[in-house]
Structure 1
Amino acid sequence: MSETVPDLKELLEGLPKNWGKWGNDDEVGSLNYLDSAQVLKGIATVRAGKTFTLQVQMGNPDGDPIWPGRRPAQRMNVLDHGHFMSGKGPHFPGNMEYCDDMMVMYLQGSTQYDALGHVWYDDQIYNGYDAKTTIGGTAKAGVLPIGERGVVGRGVLIDMARHRGKDVLDKGETFTHEDLLEAAASQGVTIEKRDILLIRTGWIGSFYRRDPEEFYKDFKEPGLTFSPELVRWFHEMEIPNLVTDTIANEVTIDPKSGVALPLHSALMRNLGVAFTEIILPDELADDCAEDGQWDFLYVAAPLKVVDGSGAPVNPIIIK
């Protein structure tokens, strides 16, 4: 690790940006690569009609996997049979009764899409918008444009844990785009231009088998690690969406530079790559290993939260 942690501006100097590529008003970035041809390419992978969903449970009494410092989703009844038993429920002609509840949660406290304006450095978010546009709400490059557009295309799952013969990668264990290509070759699948890239590390699945204290102790997720070559690969491959079973989509602290989450800036802020985090792909991965099909139709749309910096999503996979 570098003795002096560089500023992101210094670390990412000279690397590609997609600012202005789709116009000065663009707010969905590399999702623009998912045109009708990519949708049809995804549909062409559907063979058996099998479906899978990737969202983790919300408000699980045993806990939800979340970024340290955030609180799990809290669901509360506001109306149930007890109200009617005590005579405090509303009355309807015909004596219908019902239950109602609400949830308080971080918008990024479940499986979710980051808004492209979620992270920044040097006072500018994606596409050069002023970081001041995030004050009081993510008014530019928020999650709403992603929710209104939706995300549909050919998805490819790369199972790094299985490739390395593990149930789950170790804390802080890293891999590169070259490792992804090696794993893809071993799976018999090709990562093609404009594919939605899904990566399984086993990390989120392990949350439900571990003691929470052990899961969060010395918190350092496994994941992709920064390099100029990796950023250029994402740029050349025109990857629209990175989807992983970790909370941050990358190793927490870059082992070489010491910078926290540099790919959020290199890929999301600069290239406009959409980040989807905290998926649970274990059942899908088992099925892919069984039938040998690692590509599929990926369909997702985060909730349409006005000025949101992110929003929950339940991606659907169709094979």
Structure 2
Amino acid sequence: MASDPPVPSRPTTPRPLTEAAFRDLYRRLRGRAPEGGENRRGALHRLTPERVVAAAAEVRCGRTVSLAATVETRSAPDSPEPASHRMTAPAHGETGAPGLVFARDRFAMNVHGDVDSHLDALCHVIFDGELYGGVPASTVTPAGAGALTLDLVRDGIAGRGVLLDIPRLREVPWLDPGDQVTAEDLVAAEAAQRTAVGPGDLLFVRVGHRLRRRTLGPWDVTRARAGLHPTAMEFLAERGVSVLGSDGNSDAAPSAVAEVGFPVHVLAVNALGLHLLDWLDFEELVPHCERQARWHFLCVIAPLRLPAATGSPVNPIALL
């Protein structure tokens, strides 16, 4: 007799957290952070050479897939200050000249905007006057950050990426703005996708933001966006995740904590020492994972070498 089909996970409405409850969660998670010399690399200390080698060994077909969105250069509700790109050469009429001519251009970006894919360094989030590991916020000055900067990942990040697709779990194309992903959602997605998140993994959580944006158009994500509920960060701490990425910015809006606008950023970066990847794009990756029935892959992340920076545009690559 055939078994009944699995019942899709339905969205629940997690309770908002009081400031006191959030601070208690913050203290618990901060207590899980590494101590001693390892703490300056944050959760990357779990991404050992052995785990990188194991991740590389799982490449099957050699297909590469970008997890970054196309850089936006036009103003939109979620991009009031878009990246700028302009040609600086050749000059008008120079293309028809004989001999050598170079085409040149210039690019500028608000790294921590709400549309372009980027990586958050550990110096990006200040909470109660401190950075991750109790580093004084005074190390961040107008001249640049002096500790926990992008320089920590100047050699790149490579490891086992795992994609958990929450809209797929709930049998919807995307999560609506304001929806929140719980730890129970993450566990259920693991089971549905027959995968598991483990120590040192690069965890990617799809909320369907990019598909919704392409289908319905951009909107003001500062007011409403899907993301993780703060208590979901306990799942990441228990599994020993090294990096967190999403096709949103991991935080839902409105915030589950009225007094803290970006509670997941605080818990991930400031408490747990996780580098965050915001505003990624998983829409090309998902069909490959479905065809292979494998939701893990080697992932390589190569930020720019900006030693005193708090973040960088980034183009993560999944190798399947």
Q: Is the 8 A contact 2:200 2:241 kept in 1?
A: yes
Provide the residue aligned with 2:30 in structure 1. 16
Map 1:92-241; keep pairs closer than 5 Å.
Answer: 95-109=99-113, 110-136=116-142, 137-146=144-153, 148-212=154-218, 215-216=219-220, 219-227=223-231, 230-241=232-243
1:57 aligns with 2:78: no
Q: Structure 1 residues 134 and 156, CA, compared in 2 at 3 Å: closer, same or farther?
A: same
Report the CA distance between 1:281 and its aligned residue. 0.6
1:261 aligns with 2:262: yes
Q: Is the 8 A contact 2:86 2:106 kept in 1?
A: yes
SS at match of 1:168: coil
CA distance in 2, matches of 1:151, 1:206: 29
CA distance in 1, matches of 2:170, 2:212: 16
Unpaired segments ≥5 residues, structure 2: 1-14
Q: Structure 1 residues 190 and 131, CA, compared in 2 at 3 Å: closer, same or farther?
A: same
| Percentage of matched positions with identical amino acids | 27
Report the CA distance between 1:41 and its aligned residue. 1.9
Provide the residue aligned with 2:46 in structure 1. 33
Report the CA distance between 1:289 and its aligned residue. 1.5
Report the CA distance between 1:130 and its aligned residue. 0.8
CA distance in 1, matches of 2:246, 2:213: 14
Q: Structure 1 residues 4 and 176, CA, compared in 2 at 3 Å: closer, same or farther?
A: closer
Letter in 1 for 2:156: G
Q: Structure 1 residues 250 and 187, CA, compared in 2 at 3 Å: closer, same or farther?
A: same
Instruction: Answer with 47-56 or 254-263: which moved more.
Output: 254-263
Q: Is the 8 A contact 1:31 1:240 kept in 2?
A: yes
Report the CA distance between 1:85 and its aligned residue. 6.2
**1:75-105: per-residue Cα shift (whole Å, max 9, x none)?**
0111125152699xxxxxx720121110121
TM-score by length of 2: 0.86
Report the CA distance between 1:276 and its aligned residue. 0.5
CA distance in 1, matches of 2:33, 2:200: 18
SS at match of 1:281: coil
1:72 aligns with 2:82: yes
Q: Is the 8 A contact 1:144 1:303 kept in 2?
A: no
SS at match of 1:221: coil
Provide the residue aligned with 1:91 in structure 2. none
Provide the residue aligned with 2:10 in structure 1. none
SS at match of 1:209: helix
CA distance in 2, matches of 1:287, 1:113: 24
CA distance in 2, matches of 1:102, 1:180: 41
CA distance in 2, matches of 1:49, 1:177: 32
* RMSD (Å), alpha carbons: 2.6
Provide the residue aligned with 1:299 in structure 2. 300
Q: Is the 8 A contact 1:81 1:98 kept in 2?
A: no
1:244 aligns with 2:212: no
**1:237-281: per-residue Cα shift (whole Å, max 9, x none)?**
1110001000x2121333365531112111211110110111111
CA distance in 1, matches of 2:309, 2:244: 19
Q: Is the 8 A contact 2:210 2:283 kept in 1?
A: no
TM-score by length of 1: 0.86
Q: Is the 8 A contact 1:300 1:316 kept in 2?
A: yes
CA distance in 2, matches of 1:132, 1:205: 40
CA distance in 2, matches of 1:188, 1:264: 28
Unpaired segments ≥5 residues, structure 1: 88-93
Report the CA distance between 1:204 and its aligned residue. 2.3
